[in-house]
Amino acid sequence: MCAVSPQPDQAAAAASLHALTAGWLVTHGRRLTEGSRGVLLVLLLYLGSYARTAWFGFVWDDPANVSSSALLRGPLAGTIWKGEAARVHPAYERLPKDLVPAHESFRPVSVTSHWIDVHLFGDRPGLMHVHSVALGLLSILLVHAVGRRLGQGLWLTALWALHPLHVEVFAYVSARSDLLAGIFSLSALLVAIECLRANRAPVRLALAVAAGSLSLISFFAKEANLALPVAFFLLAWAIGHRRTTVLPTLALLAAGGIYFPLRRLLMESTALPMAQWKPMLRALADSPGVALAYFSSVLFPGSLSIDRPLWRPFVPLGYVAVAVLLVAALFLRRARRPSARSKLALAIAASCGGGTLLVPAALGTKSIGALADRYAFFAFLFLSVALVALIRLVSGLCSSRLLTLGKTSLAAWAVLVFLVTTAQIGVWRSDESLAQNSVASEPSSSMAVYRLATLATSQGRDADALPLLERALQLDPNNRRALNNLAVVYLHLGRVKDAKLVLKHLWPLVGDTDWKFWYNLASVQLADGERGKACAAIERALAIDPGYELALQFRAGVCQAAVPAPSAAPPASSGPSPRP
């Protein structure tokens, strides 16, 4: 039988329904995104989504960075001038890292924020989370102010507030450095844009000085946004302020020039020089791929995790993206419509600005072996500006029917992104949920599997941890943390010979810099009846960290005792090694 054609009244009804739906989307969409009602809606969605973090605990590095830091519990004067590694643990400065700049991080603004948290809230993580959410609220208002001056509407504000790529910064207490650096960088950017619009020379000078000062403060929160002058200059060029760009750009450049000598003057302790130029150059070569990876996460944020690696094909694809941007810039003047030309210029400038801001993220990714969401916090603004400009450019070239379809698709994408954000916030509830999400997202990651194993060891479930640690080492035989904890698990299970073999493999990887390794080696040697070697190993541990409590107890109870060594070895140290 032949298919029956739709009757004229049915076709008219379908067309009418389609037109009604399109009209509803346009009318109500405009109402929701206009004026203060739209901003209020975004803020309410943000607060409603992140309110539950008030019941979250400490996760990941929070204990080492905040709740268990001895320096943070002392006077601020004895803490604020210390380097980042010394604040976490004095001996951490000498740990080998895969990649680290020649200078140690110096973040007195972030340290002050954590110090206030510790002295006001003690060991109550919920109130610290509330503090972070309040700071996040401030960042949203700053982004909205920047977006209004760039003509970006509410989309930029909504993306910043509700995108899952920002969950790590808003829901993770130890990401306070990125949050504060982002707030001060946003403030500097906002003031610099105002400087472009000022008519009087004294006002422009005052605004330029203020922008530079705010940028300098951001570096003392975290030295992540050193490329802000480049990103600002590109943005100012794209929005047509070319003659007035020089003064605020020079002020932002001056902030970077002042930061390094001032840091050297103020910081009390510095790490040993550990710059490794080859890894640094490889990280810089990966920068376009890292930028493209983060931009893809803005578009498709479905598989975020703290162990998300850089997908290697992104590196050549990143260079392709750079070539595309260059070609687009060359053909920019040929655009016939002025509105299309301005939107394309903004998309190109924002993309390049975001890419330059993500160069430090490439170094961080090389260091920890993962694309940490917090590394893209401030750069996310420029990536979002580019995305919104591209959407507006394409929508201006579409027919009305395609435009309606595009708006419907965009609304569906926004809903999906918000649902991912809601789910991602719950991931940061506890170490267990964080580890389970990491393994589910990256089952082939050695660190993800190791992270799950540490939960079992912390609960005394060594038999459950054993296969996970062995799996982690199958994925990465040189995973130092997994090797260290596997030796401890073998010792607890009475497999002393296996523990010695694991530590033998670990020795060349840690050298003379990991006090936990030497303590664990001493514990294994004592269990094997080698008391003399055990005491020599414990002295090596104390040479690295003279205040290591477990090693001091070992020496007092075993090496300095007049009685023979006890048959049972002291508890081995299975805590995770510090993260670079």
User: How many domains does the chain fold into?
Assistant: 2
Gap between the terminal Cα atoms of the chain: 71
For residue 227, CA distances in Å to 156, 266, 323 come to 21, 23, 21
**450 neighbors 479 (Cβ within 8 angstroms):** yes
| 81 and 126 co-located in one domain | yes
Structure tokens at 72: 């943070």
Asked if residue 9 belongs to a domain, the reply is no
Summarize pLDDT for 563-579 with one digit per residue, the tens: 444 444 444 555 443 33
CA 290 from chain centre, in angstroms, equals 13
Mark whether 329 and 455 lie in a shared domain: no
Task: Take residue 271 and report the two structure tokens written for it.
Answer: 């790490």
Same domain? 312 vs 460: no
Domain of residue 135 covers: 36-392+414-432
The helix/strand count (H/E) of the chain reads as 28, 0
- The confidence score (pLDDT) of residue 20 equals 42
Whether the Cβ atoms of residue 469 and residue 482 lie closer than 8 Å to each other: yes
Whether 175 and 256 map to the same domain: the answer is: yes
Q: At residue 341, what is the residue type?
A: R
15 in a structural domain: no
Closest CA to 356 of 262, 252, 220: 252
Rounded Cα distance, 386 and 325, in Å: 12
Same domain (yes/no): 179, 277: yes
Rounded CA-CA distance 123/126 in Å is 9
Q: What is the pLDDT of residues 386-442, one digit of tens each?
A: 998 888 888 777 767 777 777 788 888 889 999 999 999 999 999 889 988 888 888
Q: Are 357 and 484 part of one and the same domain?
A: no
Cα–Cα distance, 80 to 110 (Å, whole number): 9
In a domain, 24, yes or no: no
Nearest to 568 by CA among 526, 522, 520, 519: 526
**C-alpha distance from residue 74 to each of 84, 90, 138, 423 (Å):** 15, 14, 29, 37
pLDDT of 570 reads 46
Same domain, 420 and 449: no
Please report whether residue 303 resides in a domain: yes
Can you give the pTM of this predicted structure? 0.84
Query: Do 349 and 475 fall within a single domain?
Result: no
Look at residue 530 and tell me if it is in a domain: yes
CATH code, domain carrying 515 = 1.25.40.10
Q: Report pLDDT for 331.
A: 78
Work out the angle at residue 361's Cα, subtended by the Cα atoms of residues 356 and 364, and round it to the nearest 5 degrees: 145
> Same domain for 315 and 344?
yes
Between CA 262 and CA 103 the distance in angstroms is 13
Q: Which residues does the chain have with pLDDT short of 70?
A: 1-35, 84-104, 269-276, 335-336, 399, 511-513, 561-580
Verify that 259 and 358 share a domain, yes or no: yes
Pick from 281, 367, 308: nearest CA to 99: 367
Residue 20 placed within a domain: no
Q: Are 76 and 146 in contact (CB under 8 A)?
A: no
The letter for the amino acid at 504 is K
Angle between helices 108-121 and 176-197 (to 10 degrees): 130
Structure-derived torsion over alpha carbons of residues 534, 538, 539, 541, reported in degrees to the nearest 10: 140
Instruction: Output the CA angle 68-430-428, nearest 5 degrees.
Output: 105
Q: How many angstroms separate the CA atoms of 165 and 208, rounded?
A: 31
Instruction: Burial-class residue 575 by CB neighbours within 10 Å (0-12, 13-18, 19+).
Output: middle
pLDDT at residue number 92: 52
**Do 540 and 491 share a structural domain?**
yes
Residue 566, domain member (yes or no): no
Q: Are residue 428 and residue 494 in the same domain, yes or no? A: no
Contact predicate 388/146, CB 8 Å: no
Residue 22 lies in a domain: no
Cα 480 to Cα 419: distance, rounded to the nearest angstrom:
36
